[in-house]
Structure 1
């Protein structure tokens, strides 16, 4: 958290005297923490004072950190983009907030480096090869669902997405997770999107008829579902995913197949957004609302040889690489 704090302070010059003082105190605290870490290493090696002294030093440093946080939290009237983020950092507590702040800063750095923001539609369709892997994309907002749903909905209804994915479904997860309701919800929406592509009329009636027929034989519905998710390309949006138990249960119904399918996970939990993707993820800022709030997309980091899939390069530069 201290390193993130100092990274924010480096983003632009800080003209506020109080904030400069704040940063100086935090940097001094960081130096003392580094000295304490070195002291502990030497103590364990038997080349310095006993560990009891290190425990006392750590307790003192913790007290300084708490006091520093409380002191500057009173000055919530600071203005400016950097100061706003610093105040936000002090107000947030816990591991999840630290993860959220780190994600937000990474997304802002990526957006600044590219001089633009990411496009969810392009991210979904960037590898349109029929035999490409299933991809999971997490969409997360630093202030809950504000703006997240509208960003996903714009992409979900885009003509490019409709043309690329015959089978589409948007599922708002209920708690606790009910597998039977989940499968029926998916199949009803898959039928609907399929009828839409066919240009059918009275789609609602046709979906009801299809579901009624399937209900007469539950095993037939499950077999049709299994065949669809293993052989067809689909797009599924999972709204309000809140824990890993749900995610693991859902993935048993949506197995990994080389069908170029996409799963969009919409979650308010920063930790969940990361865990659904796994290690070595990339993050893009999709929408910027305020210094404290952005909607971001997390996706699996690609190999260097595949970097071209995510970023457009000038034609003459591509020729040079060849």
Structure 2
């Protein structure tokens, strides 16, 4: 589903909020018929009522519905632009009213209060209302159904529960093995540098396992130097070397070329036992891999490089034996889902949800991340109909590649977000993969875009 398509449902709700809060007030101030913004509001509500069904049918490849949604989106953007104009003018009027000493001065300084401007605004609203009517007529021909289940507005009170720590379901055996490999003197005495690949499907817990190992007290005391790099799909030897050197020396050398940086890194690691984690590696180029490894040859015996990857070809170029993480068993997946949805290890106290919960857990295909996300999505829902809506979502029928259950689950989770959070979430797509986003900076960007109302800002902060 494209970003523009999943953005629509959140935009509709934002427009409704704006129409309710400012449409009538602006119409009264500008001498526009108050029935116009009210009419637009009601037609927008009618569209919003069938939006879930329309988006589901679009997923099934209904081209007529897709065209209808495209028209709705175009109209929504035009209405948003007009409401933004109203909002700017209202802010200007308020600011001037506070500093002006008379109403006469206000009218002379702001000609938009004159009748010609009102006629322009009314003409634009009439045009938008006419387009709304045409879209409503076409809606009837498409047989779109009203939303059966509201995806985001449930407010069930959480049942009281005691503090419960999450049981670790994946990687326990592998963690013990790798920990022994990292710190075992017998193994470390025979080799200068060892590569430890952790491999498995997306969301299986590779990075989480690497983090536990990296932060283990025994590991911290065993290695003199440690560094962590999130590599992702761009295997840039220069950038990776810079990041490792910065972690090892705590000094930035942004202007250096690769050769000079690798000499510095080699000198910094010479004779020292180190641990480097290369997270999320996709590189299949043997030449780049060997170039990256050159400085590490100077380290002391027992030095280690952990890599996490989904790609077994990556493992093959390292020449090392991999540590594959297996999918969760169904029972463990059910337990993990129950923990995050109900704060319990099973469904014993929620027998009405047990059958549906097990079927949802099967959808996770052994992915702990999928189970956690779905559990979080269901955490405030105690009505079996709400769980059925998740189980029967058309999102499960989306064409995906192998092991893409996490993508389906994340999309499903997005659909059930409150409208103001949907806009904020989609905005994050402008950042590149693995970009480190500063929280406060992001919130300010959301505010600048007008995504957050005053009450939303309080929730986010």
Per residue, is there more strand in 1 or in 2? 1
When normalised by structure 1's length, the TM-score is: 0.41
Per residue, is there more helix in 1 or in 2? 2
When normalised by structure 2's length, the TM-score is: 0.30
RCO greater where, 1 or 2, for CA within 8 Å and sep 6 or more? 1
